Structure 1
Amino acid sequence: MQHGLIKSMTLALAAAAFAPLASAQEVTLKVHFFLPATSFANTLFIQPWCERIAKESNQRMKCQTYPSMQLGGTPPQLFEQARDGVADVVWTLPGYTAGRFPSVEVFELPFMMQNPEATSKALWDYVGQYAAAEFKDVKPLAFHVHGDGVFHMTNKPVRTAADLKGLKLRAPTRMTNKFMALLGATPVSMPVPQVGDALSKGVIDGAVVPYEVVPSVKIQELVKFHSETDPTEPAFYTSTFVFAMNKAKYESLPADLKKVIDNNSGQALSGLIGKAFLQADAEGKKLTAKNTTNVIPKAELENWKKLGQPLTDAWVADMNAKGHNGKEMLDGARALIARHAAGK
């Protein structure tokens, strides 16, 4: 009798000991993005992030990635998909929905960005100070920018603004489209996945993207010329990106898994992604070796800065009209970029 009692108590204690393990929540996050699985964005940033959260959660939280819009919809709809829970985590460009995120467009103004790692950290800080309301419907995990934009042209290189006159040129965001128009081009807005088809069919004469995008679109096979800007100068354009999570999904996580997400988001992750994109640029550029590359000199870029100034002035005025202090936001963005570039 006593032996049976001890045995049953032992079994009960054993069951109690294993109960937390049995009931430990396992979570699969649906991660949705617009580039293919082979893209540098996936191999250098999204997959490593997924591996870290799996490891730090003892494999209790894992990703199921859906590259190339495999969950449906279009790239401009990704933000809504994170908001509405169609996906748990998305990676997209705020600029794909023109005018919806005006505060962060300051980072897409001409000649703002020189170092993507520092500028990505600055962007995270800037959103916290000036633009949190624009992203209140999701849980931001990171904000970042890409490396220097490059002209990829089918028939002739870009050496001066005059070379762009009358050419149809793809650009990613409202600000860059406006800048291309000021330089004399006819801007054509489209997400990256459409660029290859548009180049091959002659719908556009060229595109501005960083080298990082080259392999995803096979740009090196579709154009003959690559025109960079003087590397000592800030980039003539960059784009902002957001890596965001569905709020309800985050809130549903137990405290320890929330902590794993918290430890893998924020300013540090933003900088890490910016650094990965710089690495990706170097890899993408290697693929263009057989084509012709030129550098647009500093003297010509000074002319471009003057041509682009009305765009900066208009952004400040637009922010003022929306009840913000546009000049303060512009100065704040520049100060944050400079501070992080100096390693402070």
Structure 2
Amino acid sequence: MKITLKSAALTALVATAAQSAFAQEVTLRFQHFVSPKSANPTYFMQPWADKVERDSDGRIKVEIYPLMQLGGKAPSQYDLIRDGVVDGGWVIPGYQPGRFPEAEAMEMPFMVTKKGEEASKAAWIFTQKHLMDDFADVKVIAAHMHGPGVVHKKGPAIAEISDFDGVKLRGPSRPATLLLSKLGANPIGMAVPAFPEALSKGVVDGGVITWEMAPSLKLDELTDSHTDVAGDKSLYSLFFIWAMNKDVYEGLPDDLKAVIDANSGFETSALAGRAHDTGDIEGKQVMIDAGNEIAEINQEQTELMKALGEEVVAEWIEEVSQKGLDGEALISDARAAVQLTEGTAAPLE
């Protein structure tokens, strides 16, 4: 009887150990560079983390760290993820100009619609065709865009192109700064965390950024006017990826990899863009409530701006083609993806 009991206990111990090994628990540390109260962390990152935890029956816990709390600077976020300094995070490839040139096709002036959800669906389609090799050393979970890029500045709103002359404006990406230069502004490239201080110290007179980011950057206090363009196409938009360290992903058990995979891709990208759409409504209202000037450039001036945007596109095609890329095909495929997804955004609740 003693031998039987010991054998049973040993069998139970081995089974428990095997079950424990199978039911591996993982904590993933993801990092971003904006306020935790801004739209993407609120309406995408945290819900994504919560869903991953639910879908894994609690075996995956995702910790979200805002404002680069785990170290490093926003422009180096891709490398931090690749090198395993963090397990995952939010990346703007355009913060490293020239490193991911093909991604710039999605960021061209007036390329995407003002609906972040639609633009993000297009971004995922384009990414699958052109960018997976560029991002081969990380696990891409989502590729997305934000909503309309708006000019926020001190003083009166922009009414016509001549109002850009000599105005020092923060630009978030190379395509955006190229367009601002064409418009006559003095573009100053900088990552979003540096924008409020640059405004307060007079380094810039304003900048282009989304409605949803405006409250967390205190643009209701630091600027006086907010100007969008006419029509359904965005003055500019940024391309983002939500990505994970590849070795960490590959080291997961197959069933946990499946959870990450199920929360990656086209629909996940759409949710990331939709988060910006929700935040844009809220952010714009904060600017309105502050009594700031809300303006829209008329259709005639917008068409002139679009023509300047086409000059940026043509020059970009020539530039990247000289580097061995098919610039015309990249722009054509970006536009095709936008056309395919235009009008597909679901109504916001």
Q: Is the 8 A contact 1:33 1:67 kept in 2?
A: yes
Separation (CA, whole Å) in 1 of partners of 2:45 and 2:343: 27
Counterpart for residue 190 of structure 1: 190
C-alpha deviation, 1:17, in angstroms:
3.7
Counterpart for residue 309 of structure 1: 310
C-alpha deviation, 1:20, in angstroms:
3.3
Separation (CA, whole Å) in 2 of partners of 1:30 and 1:57: 16
2:162 partner SS: helix
C-alpha deviation, 1:133, in angstroms:
2.0
The letter of the residue matching 2:262 is N
The letter of the residue matching 1:278 is D
Q: Is the 8 A contact 2:142 2:265 kept in 1?
A: yes
1:281 correspondence with 2:280: yes
Matched length: 341
The letter of the residue matching 1:275 is R
1:99 partner SS: coil
The letter of the residue matching 2:316 is W
Counterpart for residue 262 of structure 1: 261
Counterpart for residue 334 of structure 1: 335
Separation (CA, whole Å) in 2 of partners of 1:56 and 1:131: 28
Structure 1 regions of 5+ residues with no counterpart? none
Superposed CA deviations along residues 124-180 of structure 1, whole A, max 9, x for unmatched, are 111221222221121111110000011111112101111110110011001100100
Separation (CA, whole Å) in 2 of partners of 1:329 and 1:128: 13
C-alpha deviation, 1:12, in angstroms:
3.1
Within the candidate set 12, 15, 39, 2:13 is matched to 15
Separation (CA, whole Å) in 2 of partners of 1:36 and 1:119: 23
Q: Is the 8 A contact 1:50 1:62 kept in 2?
A: yes
Counterpart for residue 48 of structure 2: 49
Counterpart for residue 116 of structure 2: 116
Separation (CA, whole Å) in 2 of partners of 1:44 and 1:226: 24
The letter of the residue matching 2:236 is Y
Separation (CA, whole Å) in 1 of partners of 2:18 and 2:278: 42
Structure 2 regions of 5+ residues with no counterpart? none
CA RMSD of aligned residues (A): 1.5
Separation (CA, whole Å) in 2 of partners of 1:306 and 1:147: 21
Q: Is the 8 A contact 1:169 1:206 kept in 2?
A: yes
1:90 partner SS: strand
Answer 1 or 2: which has greater helix percent: 1
Moved more, 307-316 or 183-192: 307-316
Counterpart for residue 222 of structure 2: 222
Counterpart for residue 142 of structure 1: 142
C-alpha deviation, 1:218, in angstroms:
1.1
Counterpart for residue 293 of structure 1: 294
The letter of the residue matching 1:215 is P
TM-score normalized by structure 1?
A: 0.96
Separation (CA, whole Å) in 2 of partners of 1:306 and 1:177: 16
1:217 partner SS: coil
